[in-house]
Amino acid sequence: GDSVTQMEGPVTLSEEAFLTINCTYTATGYPSLFWYVQYPGEGLQLLLKATKADDKGSNKGFEATYRKETTSFHLEKGSVQVSDSAVYFCALRGTRGNNRLAFGKGNQVVVIP
């Protein structure tokens, strides 16, 4: 079945550092790909998305490119802020018709001033 794999472990970095969170997927056909963010005490909210190969999603300084050849959708930000501290989830919507999303396990990101 469809699945998403995120890199293991929390990520701790200093303010203004470069952030990368790896995400790879397994799916048939051409899924849609998403990054969701969860701030402390809140539900998840959409950060960015891409619906076809080579699309780049971007929002709030974050970017991710849909790479069909490597089945990846890595999240990047050039200069993080303390306010970016959150849990980030990669997700996939497969080609079946029920709009179900498969989520990765999430990565806790802590940005230190």
Partner 1 sequence: NAGVTQTPKFRVLKTGQSMTLLCAQDMNHEYMYWYRQDPGMGLRLIHYSVGEGTTAKGEVPDGYNVSRLKKQNFLLGLESAAPSQTSVYFCATTDRGSSGANVLTFGAGSRLTVL
Q: Amino acid letter at 27?
A: A
Task: Output the smallest distance, CB 16 to partner 1, in A.
Answer: 29
Under 8 Å between Cβ of 22 and 38: no
Task: Output the smallest distance, CB 99 to partner 1, in A.
Answer: 5
Q: Which is nearer to partner 1, 84 or 104 (CB)?
A: 104
Counting Cβ atoms within 10 Å, is residue 2 exposed (0-12), middle (13-18) or buried (19+)?
A: middle
Q: Amino acid letter at 29?
A: G
Under 8 Å between Cβ of 107 and 88: yes
Question: Can residue 109 be called a binding residue for partner 1 (CB under 8 A)?
Answer: no
Question: Can residue 106 be called a binding residue for partner 1 (CB under 8 A)?
Answer: yes
Query: Could you give the string, one character per residue 9-38, with x where binding to partner 1 holds by CB under 8 A and - elsewhere?
Result: ---------------------xxx-x-x--
Task: Output the smallest distance, CB 28 to partner 1, in A.
Answer: 14
